[in-house]
Amino acid sequence: MESTNSSKTPRKRINVSMWHVMMVVIAMTVLRPMIMSMFSEAPTELSYSEFKSAVRGGAVESVVIGSERIEGTLSDGKAFRTVRVEDRALIDVLEQHRVEVHGRAVNPFVGWLLPLGLMLGVSLLLMQRLRKGGGVGTGLFSFSKSKARMTEGEQSGVTFEDIGGAGEAVTDLREITEFLKSPEQFQRLGGKMPKGVLLVGPPGTGKTLLARATAGEAGVPFFSLSGAEFVEMFVGVGASRVRDLFVQAKKKAPAIIFIDEIDAIGGRRAAGVGLSGGHDEREQTLNQLLAEMDGFQPTTGLMLIAATNRPEVLDAALLRPGRFDRRVVVGLPDLTGRLEILKIHTSGITLARDVELENLARITPGFSGADVANVINEAALLASRDGKDAVAAADFDSAIERVIAGSERRTRAMNEHEKRVVAAHEAGHALAAALLPNVDPVHKVSIIPRGNALGYTWQRPVEDRYIMGQNELQDRLVVLLGGRAAEKLVFAEVSTGAADDLARATDLARRMVTEYGMSDELGPVRLAADMQAQYLGAPGHLDASVSAVTAARVDDETARIVREALEHALRLLSVHRTSLDALTQRLCDKETVNGVEITELLAKAKSAPSAKGAVPGAVPRLEKNANHRTLSNAEKTNSRSRRKSNPVSTSK
């Protein structure tokens, strides 16, 4: 006999809670009089005087006396009601006229039990809702619960193949996935799995993406949250959340815990703080994290990955072996890394035939993975706005300019004098860069305002650079001060447009003195304090042990280096004054001049009869592959960020 169970529709289970029953009872109690009145004839409303007159006239059959109303029936069978008035003689009058009298007792349930029940019910309902809070760990009474978001490894959607430019960081993290997949392979010789991995590097290099990819490759649960999510206004909440986080992770082991921006809770503890009980909330959270990292064994299958771009502020106890056993540096991608990133992010972009990814990678040194992705997105938006069918190389050039310098501001109108000052200023930058041998070649000069700049000079790096000599730095100072020198030569005065150039030149000269030991007066000594935010480009300052006398000598040396660079720029532009005037005029006429035109101007001036007395060696540096449109964006004089060391010269 064939079974018919498979054809039956499963019954849906109806959940009836105490709250449903209570609401039904309350609704029936409150709505009962209203419902009954709808199906019965409305009684006649009488004033109290009319009611007493009817009683005296023998027209009242019976009455029901309540606490507030008197209801009854007339001799003709009609119902009536009136408001009760305090009248002691009423009962005597009713008995005298033989009216049937009934009383109505006050219902205690309606009088006080029902309001009390409503209050209790609402209170319990609110408490239950607050405990739930619309989700796990978000209610008022669950603030001590961890706010970590759990993702199964295969659901992260990211693997190491989706990440480009990470280099050796992927190799280090690939070992972690092998630890989590087959720990016995590494434990057979007595080895132990690392407890923690610290990812450090500049912003935008993909530290969070690497952590997600590690979980995706290992196929284990991934708990992620920010360091700031541990601390609230309540004392002890952070420590409680740390405990709850590790409890949840141990239940899902093997698993990965990822804490982004761990410097929010792992900052260095100051001497003397916490000696009287440690009531600082952040410090208690850090102490609990240290205890938890000591508490779980390497065999439990838990791995803690943290990310920060300020490793120098982390507490030494957090960084010691046994807690964060490995430090993985996720730096800015090199040429090969940028090419990998470009291939990944352009996989869904329709590219024109003139786009060469290798060339795009070459002209974007110092860009992080996020910067490269932003350039690709901006290029696609620009091409779409212009109605193109594919993204061309010109779109990428415009996108690089927009990302670095901002959008064009053609609505900012300048008078003729200001326009000529800006043109002379940018011409000074461009000529100094074209004439000096140790700087990047000029690609474009423009007096079209972008962002906060009234004009800009772009230089294209020929290659990635990691070490720079003293002569290169001095030439870079001359280029930075070329705009001020040009203003002084052409107009016999300087303007406020060189403010940014002066700030950058002064900073570079001070670092030459205090960090690189490039001062004969002070010698090969380091006078700068330890960098407090090397990945964030924080300005440096003198060490606290430097005396006031030495600090004054540092100021003198910094001023001397800047002054000599300015004098060099004045001499250089004086010799090539004809080229300076010609380039200034061309900028006033065309607003934008490329590197090829600058080379032609210098070559024409060199062949002119007036150029025979030029300084030997002051020849233009020809740009290789000058027909290619490129931009420069990075000045690698240290490990500082790209935006702080951008060699683009501007006038404001």
- Using CA of residue 151, residue 228, residue 316, residue 281, what is the dihedral sign? negative
In the sheet that holds 69-74, the strands lie side by side as 44-45, 79-83, 69-74, 60-65, 100-103
Q: Are 177 and 214 in contact (CB under 8 A)?
A: yes
Q: What is the CATH number of the domain that holds 76?
A: 3.30.720.210
DSSP 529: P
**Residue closest to 575 by CA, chosen among 534, 537, 545, 617:** 617
The pLDDT of residue 210: 87
Across the chain, what does the average pLDDT equal? Answer: 78
Q: What is the CATH number of the domain that holds 195?
A: 3.40.50.300
The pLDDT of residue 142: 56
Domain total of the chain:
5
Distance of CA 599 to the CA centre of its chain: 43
Q: Are 418 and 561 in contact (CB under 8 A)?
A: no
Domain check: are 627 and 507 in the same one?
A: yes
Domain check: are 351 and 458 in the same one?
A: no
The pLDDT of residue 640: 35
Secondary structure class of 97 (helix, strand, coil):
coil
Domain check: are 44 and 174 in the same one?
A: no
Q: Would 230 be classed as within a structural domain? A: yes
Structural element, H or E, at residue 157: none
Looking at 405, 424, 459, the residue that finishes a domain is 405
Q: Are 498 and 651 in contact (CB under 8 A)?
A: yes
Give the model confidence (pLDDT) of 125-157 as tens digits. Answer: 666 665 554 444 444 455 556 666 767 655 566
Q: Would 275 be classed as within a structural domain? A: no
| CB count in 10 Å sphere of residue 208 | 17
Q: Would 273 be classed as within a structural domain? A: no
Top-confidence range, 10-24, 189-203, 228-242? 189-203
At residue 635, does pLDDT exceed 80? no
Give the model confidence (pLDDT) of 519-574 as tens digits. Answer: 888 889 888 877 666 666 666 677 778 888 988 999 999 999 999 999 999 999 99
The pLDDT of residue 218: 80
Q: What is the CATH number of the domain that holds 387?
A: 1.10.8.60
- Using CA of residue 532, residue 537, residue 539, residue 542, what is the dihedral sign? positive
Of the pLDDT bands very low, low, confident and very high (cuts 50, 70, 90), residue 267 is confident
Q: Are strands 79-83 and 196-200 parallel, antiparallel or unpaired?
A: unpaired
- Residues noted as catalytic: 426
Average pLDDT over residues 12-38: 62
Residue recorded with tokens 């978001």:
149
Name residues whose C-beta falls within 8 Å of residue 619's C-beta, 6 or more positions apart in sequence: 435, 606
Tokens standing for 612? 């025979």
Domain check: are 460 and 580 in the same one?
A: yes
Lowest mean pLDDT among 256-260, 292-296, 404-408: 292-296
3-state helix, strand, coil in the chain (%, to 5): 50, 10, 40
The pLDDT of residue 391: 92
The pLDDT of residue 456: 85
| CB count in 10 Å sphere of residue 562 | 19
Distance of CA 62 to the CA centre of its chain: 80
**Residue closest to 495 by CA, chosen among 424, 573, 569, 584:** 424
Could you report how far apart the first and last alpha carbons of the chain are, in Å? 92
Domain check: are 491 and 456 in the same one?
A: yes
Q: Which domain holds residue 46?
A: 18-105
The pLDDT of residue 298: 59
How far apart CA 121 and CA 322 sit, in angstroms, is: 52
Domain check: are 372 and 250 in the same one?
A: no
Domain check: are 489 and 622 in the same one?
A: yes
**Residue closest to 456 by CA, chosen among 490, 433, 437:** 433
Report cis status (omega within 30 of 0) of the bond before 449. no
Looking at 360, 380, 405, the residue that finishes a domain is 405
Name residues whose C-beta falls within 8 Å of residue 197's C-beta, 6 or more positions apart in sequence: 172, 173, 176, 303, 304, 305, 306, 324, 325, 326, 327, 328
The pLDDT of residue 609: 54
Domain check: are 224 and 307 in the same one?
A: yes
Domain check: are 157 and 137 in the same one?
A: no
Domain check: are 294 and 442 in the same one?
A: no
Lowest mean pLDDT among 77-91, 175-189, 268-282: 268-282
Q: Would 47 be classed as within a structural domain? A: yes
Portion of the chain with pLDDT greater than 90, in percent: 17
The pLDDT of residue 87: 80
The pLDDT of residue 569: 94
The pLDDT of residue 235: 65
Domain check: are 74 and 159 in the same one?
A: no
Average pLDDT over residues 84-112: 76
Q: Would 401 be classed as within a structural domain? A: yes
Domain check: are 96 and 119 in the same one?
A: no
**Residue closest to 491 by CA, chosen among 564, 410, 561, 580:** 580
Q: Are 457 and 648 in contact (CB under 8 A)?
A: yes
The pLDDT of residue 545: 82
At residue 473, does pLDDT exceed 60? yes
Q: Would 115 be classed as within a structural domain? A: yes
Give the model confidence (pLDDT) of 222-266 as tens digits. Answer: 888 887 777 766 666 778 888 888 888 888 878 888 888 888 888
Q: Are 460 and 440 in contact (CB under 8 A)?
A: yes
Lowest mean pLDDT among 10-24, 170-184, 191-205: 10-24
Q: Would 6 be classed as within a structural domain? A: no
Q: Are 242 and 230 in contact (CB under 8 A)?
A: yes
Q: Are 641 and 202 in contact (CB under 8 A)?
A: yes
At residue 643, does pLDDT exceed 90? no
Average pLDDT over residues 611-639: 36
Looking at 58, 82, 105, the residue that finishes a domain is 105
Lowest mean pLDDT among 19-28, 207-216, 499-508: 19-28
DSSP string, 13-76: PPP--HHHHHHHHHHHHHHHHHHHHHTSPPPEE--HHHHHHHHHTT-EEEEEE-SSEEEEEETT
**Residue closest to 389 by CA, chosen among 331, 330, 349:** 349
Q: What single letter denotes the amino acid at residue 91?
A: I
Of the pLDDT bands very low, low, confident and very high (cuts 50, 70, 90), residue 89 is confident
Choice between 422 and 206, residue whose per-residue pLDDT is larger: 422
Give the model confidence (pLDDT) of 310-353 as tens digits. Answer: 888 888 888 888 888 888 888 888 888 889 899 988 988 889 99
Distance of CA 527 to the CA centre of its chain: 34
- In Å, the largest CA–CA distance within the chain is 142
DSSP 167: T
At residue 624, does pLDDT exceed 60? no
Tokens standing for 29? 């109690």
Report phi then psi at 334, rounded to 5: -85, -165
Q: How far is CA 304 from CA 269, 385, 387, 563, in A?
A: 21, 45, 48, 52
Average pLDDT over residues 95-100: 82
Q: What single letter denotes the amino acid at residue 510?
A: R
Report phi then psi at 389, rounded to 5: -90, -15
The pLDDT of residue 602: 84
Q: Would 162 be classed as within a structural domain? A: yes
Lowest mean pLDDT among 198-202, 270-274, 431-435: 270-274
